[in-house]
A and B are shown apart, each in its own frame.
Chain A
Amino acid sequence: MTRAVDTPPALAVEDLRTAFFTDAGRLDVVDGVSLTLRRGEILGLVGESGSGKTMTGFSITGLIEPPGRIVGGSVKLAGEELVGADRARLRALRGRRIAMVFQDPMMTLNPVLRIETQMTDALLAHASMSRAAARAKVRDALAEVGIAAPDERLRAYPHELSGGMRQRVAIAIALLHEPDVVIADEPTTALDVTIQGQILALVQRLCRERGTGLVWITHDLAVVAGIADRIAVMYAGRIVEEGPVDDVLDRPAHPYTRGLIASVPVPGRRERLPQVPGRMPSLLELPPGCAFAPRCAQAAEACRARPDLLPVGPARAARCHFPLVETEAAR
């Protein structure tokens, strides 16, 4: 490590907790999540649907709405604390220093406003310039995300664009102010496979060029393998494994990660894929210990106690009493 100790990471999340207070009871949708993202780094955040990936993204950007709220922890954006920051400050940071791309491009853009209005609104939220200058700038931003005939597209309404094109617009908006951190929440899940690849490459290139830290949320391990530097695996609101992407995918430490890897389809092989057996339990009836224990083949007595996220190798950690790779201690 030669980095200066005093430069804070682009994003440092520490024991973040978000709960929804519903009639059925309290749901800890984000349950002590810690993440670190350096400038220019790409972190893949993976997990089954419902594991809390989106809520983690919303918590980081301060977009959790009642009946949910952040109940603890810290989110530092380039050293500045966001948890508990006032609304005006959060507004000033959102879109400028930290931005988000949502999952469904069909729902992300306002159906009754022209692309130009939506883009210039996002631009003028953090910059003061003439309408003409703003128009020229958003036009260039559209061209940069690979949209042909940007002038024409600016006049269009969202329904006149394809899903892939809408997602490009959303990406152009998110990158308008060259933020330090972009959280992309399954931005390709709703798109065709060919479009997926293009979008993936586009975001990767733009973030690398600008040194933007990227959190790429997905349930698709194959995507993470192609794009990320590091990976964090989420289960029931908790990070269960974290580490450099190649290490984790080659030698998973957590049984859940191994299950996920086994269920990735291999091109050319058409046999039935082994899914992780069972389903993620409702957040209302999580077991007191390891949340994965009921689905885990090697669960034992010890798993009734809640495991901590402990180091299992260089820059790696897993939340398991019986990690599949030897720990430092066991060595």
Chain B
Amino acid sequence: MVGFIARRLVQSLFVLFVMTLIVFFGVNVIGNPVYIFASSECNQACVNGIIADLGLDRPVWEQYFVFVGNALSGDLGNSFTFGVPAMSLIWERLPATLELAFAALVIALGLGLPLGILAGLRPDAISSRLIMGVSTLGFSVPVFWIGLILIMVFSVQLGWLPSIGRGDTVSILGLEASFLTLDGLSHLLMPAFTLSLFMLAMVIRLTRAGMREVLHADYVKFARANGISETRILSVHVMKNILIPIVTVLGMEFGGVIAFAVVTESIFSWPGVGKMLIDAIAVLDRPLIVAYLVFVVFMFVIINLLVDILYSVLDPRVRLGGGAR
């Protein structure tokens, strides 16, 4: 197990290295941020001053080595716009994004599992067909459109839910959370639901497919032949088998949900890292963009590792690290 994790981390370091290379040089080609910072009065000498100040006068590869050197000591550079360490900006915004993503996950599982079970138990019923039809929408309709429709209906027409920001937050363990206040919860509901749609559709489909397969398995029939109650069969014997693919796929998807909450956060002006990234791109804040992407890769690595571990806990046939028990 320890060996497995170590091997995984070494692989990830390599991925991280390649990624920084691509991002760093990629960002350097899109444009020169200095012209965005410099005011119109700034003459060439003034511009050159700024360029030297930011270290942009040096060759790109030299900049890269400085960046890597600093990164290894945990410093991903200062944001051009805010003049503070880029990582500190990310940490500041991250709790909002995490809260949104976890709320979306809870919605996806809380709604998706029961709906999927229902659809799997009675595949031919009208209700099941309805559930599957709606889940197809979750895959095919763009997120921003659903977000806008929700705002139009629940904020503009009905005036039930606010459409902007996080609302009141309370601090738990040093992190701000919206879901513990009524106002915060009302702010969280629409963006979280919007963000959850894709995952929700996926959970419904995976649950239904799993049910259809597992319900006809011999071991379920054997459990019935032994007189085990239907509730126990469904909630333990069937569910544990179904959860394996769901956890895997959802785990893979979850990193993406955090990383690309960008759209949802923009629509609902949710003050998370996704919105920060959009702002950073608009002003070509290179260090912030690079720091964000490095952070995202790192997060993917961690999440995938957790998924693998969870997977091996759920499925006894999988042993991490090649049979070392």
Q: Which residues of A contact B (CB under 8 A)?
A: 61, 63, 65, 91-96, 99-100, 102, 104, 107-114, 117-118, 121-122, 125-126, 157, 159, 170, 173-174, 176
A91 nearest CB neighbor, chain B only = B227
Q: How far is the CA of A65 from the CA of B229 in the complex (A)?
A: 17
Name the B residues within 8 Å of A112 (CB-CB): 240-241, 244, 314-317
Given A113, A159, A170, A176, which contacts B240 in the complex, CB threshold below 8 Å? A113
B216 neighbours in A (Cβ, 8 Å): 65
Complex contacts, B315 vs chain A, CB 8 Å: 111-112
Interface residues on B, range: 20 to 34
In the complex, A26 Cα to B218 Cα: how many Å? 24
* A–B pairs, 26, beta carbons within 8 Å: A91-B224, A92-B227, A95-B225, A95-B228, A96-B227, A99-B226, A100-B225, A102-B221, A102-B225, A104-B218, A109-B219, A109-B222, A110-B237, A111-B316, A112-B316, A113-B236, A121-B223, A121-B228, A121-B232, A121-B236, A121-B237, A122-B227, A125-B227, A157-B316, A157-B317, A174-B226
Inter-chain pairs besides A94-B226, A102-B225, A122-B226, 8 sampled, C-beta below 8 Å: A91-B227, A102-B221, A110-B237, A112-B316, A125-B228, A125-B232, A173-B222, A173-B226
Query: Are B222 and A94 in contact, CB atoms less than 8 angstroms apart?
Result: no
Bound-state CA distance A230–B225 (Å) is 25
Q: Is B180 an interface residue (CB 8 A)?
A: no
CA distance A99 to B225 in the complex (A): 6
Q: Known: A63-B221, A102-B221, A104-B218. Contact between A111 and B241, CB under 8 A?
A: yes
Interface of B is mostly: helix
- Other-chain contact of B222, A65, A93, A102, A117 (Cβ < 8 Å): A102
The residue in chain A whose Cβ has the minimal distance to the Cβ of B316 is A157
Give the CA-CA distance A91 to B223 in the complex, in Å.
10
Is B317's CB under 8 angstroms from A63's CB?
no
Beta-carbon contact of B241 and A94 below 8 Å: no
**CB of A118 to closest CB in B, whole Å:** 8
The answer to whether B244 and A93 have CB atoms under 8 Å apart is no
B22: interface (CB < 8 Å): no
Q: Smallest CB–CB gap between A34 and chain B, Å? A: 22
**CA separation between A104 and B218, bound complex, in Å?**
9
Given the complex, which residues of A lie within 8 Å of B84, measured CB to CB?
A: none
Known: A102-B218, A111-B241, A112-B244. A159 touches B224 (CB 8 A): no
